[in-house]
């Protein structure tokens, strides 16, 4: 779709150029202090890219800089993409949100809920409600992540190989059956816990569509939108653009965990929850699709009512994430609910950050962040590769710095 670049004078879309530069000055310090290897930030309003900047290195060893076309692992920013893919099937009548997951994955019948006991002899009881597709989309299924809980339930997940970034099994069908054999934290629909549920959703997409997940996403999302650099691995010829992955240690120092060429590994089990590689240009197009109500450049993937439905708070009784969450999680903050793949701002005062009601967002484990503000017609993307740095602190400062630059 051409090289990523600024497409307007910020003043043309009501943004102050000098105030936007505060974003760069603030986050440059993170690189100067060795807290991030490098980053890219993109601010768009009314469909025009008003601010695009990069800083630091995509690989600290070689000093290769972050550039507009750098490839990043986006981890959990994969989840909104898979949620959109699922909703294209919903619009075709291939499934309903109330469908029990067991209708597509039989091993999800007769689920049990963890009550007590060690991982070697857990005490469980029958679940009072089946997991439905809606539960997977909203993280209210009772499934968890193995890394999230230090207790016996987390140990059960870890023993099943569900603790790291690489999913176990021969394929998504195998993975889903492994997950179905584990007890739930709570009865579906009675709490919120970030979970492996969107990986299970990937298997639902395969069964409902008759296509492998990677092929479905390529044919139904990436190719129509011109997202040529997005997929579950990077081609060998593109690895010169790939960013290396780092982890933030207890001392705040960065340690290399996966060089850029690690993106060439084709996974046996594609992760619908965290597996995609992408670029700022590609993800910008995905966000523009959402901002425009499911259509971009004459291509419509979803109807506007569907996008509106996905990006409203679905938690029972209008609860916010902090009140409904059953596992401590940094993204579960007051004033925000959760929709079908996105956290959604309900009350900016409770969030304690300048924002708009209806603004929706998510992030990834390596510090990647995005949000869409329909009221202000703004989309924002921040990309870096530092595991453990935390998306909340990036989003908090970035929100301040973007919103203070809006002058009309």
Q: Which residues are catalytic?
A: 76
Residue in the structure block whose two tokens are 């195998």: 174
d(CA 129, CA 111): 9
How many whole angstroms separate alpha carbon 321 and alpha carbon 324?
Answer: 5
Picking from 228, 251, 261, 230, the residue whose alpha carbon sits closest to that of residue 64 is 261
Measured CA distances, 105 to 72, 172, 208 (Å): 32, 11, 10
Reported residue count of the chain is: 408
Cβ(286)–Cβ(220) under 8 Å?
A: no
CA 113/CA 126 separation, integer angstroms: 6
CA distances from 195 to 147, 157, 204 (A): 10, 11, 16
- Name the DSSP class of 290: H
Contact residues for 9 (Cβ-Cβ < 8 A; gap 6+): 17, 50
Q: Which of 347, 329, 115, 104 is nearest to 210 (CA)?
A: 104
Beta strands in 238-307 (DSSP E): 245-248, 254-258, 277-278, 295-296, 299-300
Which H helix or E strand runs over 168? Answer: none
d(CA 167, CA 86): 20
CA-closest candidate to residue 331, choices 209, 204, 129, 195: 195
- Which uninterrupted H or E stretch holds 55? strand 48-56
Query: Which pair of tokens denotes residue 197?
Result: 């549920």
DSSP 246: E
- Cβ proximity of 279 and 229 under 8 Å: yes
151 Ramachandran zone, left/alpha/beta (phi>0; psi -120 to 50): beta
């Amino acid at each position: 779709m051409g090289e990523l670049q600024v497409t307007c004078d910020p003043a043309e879309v009501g943004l102050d150029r000098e105030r936007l530069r505060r974003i760069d000055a603030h986050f440059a310090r993170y690189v100067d202090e060795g807290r991030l290897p490098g980053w890219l930030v993109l601010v768009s309003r009314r469909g025009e890219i008003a601010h695009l900047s990069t800083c630091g290195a995509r690989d600290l060893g070689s000093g290769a800089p972050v550039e507009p076309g750098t490839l990043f692992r986006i981890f959990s920013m994969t989840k909104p993409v898979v949620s959109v893919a699922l909703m294209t099937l919903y619009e075709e009548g291939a499934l309903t949100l109330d469908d029990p997951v067991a209708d597509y994955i039989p091993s999800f019948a007769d689920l049990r809920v963890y009550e007590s006991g060690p991982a070697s002899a857990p005490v469980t009881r029958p679940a009072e409600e089946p997991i439905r597709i809606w539960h997977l989309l909203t993280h209210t299924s009772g499934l968890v992540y193995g890394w999230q809980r230090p207790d016996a339930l987390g140990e059960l997940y870890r023993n099943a190989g569900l603790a790291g970034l690489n999913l176990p099994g021969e394929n998504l069908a195998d993975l889903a059956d492994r997950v179905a054999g584990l007890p739930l934290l709570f009865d579906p629909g009675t709490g919120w816990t970030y979970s492996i549920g969107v990986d299970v959703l990937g298997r639902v997409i395969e069964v409902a569509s008759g296509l492998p997940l990677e092929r479905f996403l390529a044919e139904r999302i990436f190719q129509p939108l011109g997202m040529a650099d997005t997929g579950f691995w990077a081609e060998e010829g593109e690895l010169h653009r790939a960013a290396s992955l780092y982890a933030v240690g207890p001392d705040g120092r960065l340690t290399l965990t996966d060089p850029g060429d690690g993106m060439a590994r084709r996974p046996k089990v594609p992760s619908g929850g965290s597996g995609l590689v992408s670029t700022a240009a590609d993800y910008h197009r995905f966000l523009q699709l959402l901002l425009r109500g499911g259509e971009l450049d004459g291509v419509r993937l979803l109807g506007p009512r569907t996008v509106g439905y996905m990006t409203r708070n679905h938690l029972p009784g209008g609860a916010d994430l902090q009140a409904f969450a059953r596992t401590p999680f940094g993204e579960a903050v007051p004033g925000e609910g959760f929709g079908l793949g996105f956290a959604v701002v309900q009350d900016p005062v409770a969030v304690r950050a300048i924002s708009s009601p209806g603004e929706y967002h998510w992030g990834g484990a390596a510090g990647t962040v995005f949000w869409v503000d329909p009221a202000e017609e703004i989309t924002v993307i921040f990309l870096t590769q530092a595991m453990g740095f935390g998306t909340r602190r990036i989003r908090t400062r970035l929100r301040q710095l973007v919103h203070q630059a809006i002058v009309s």
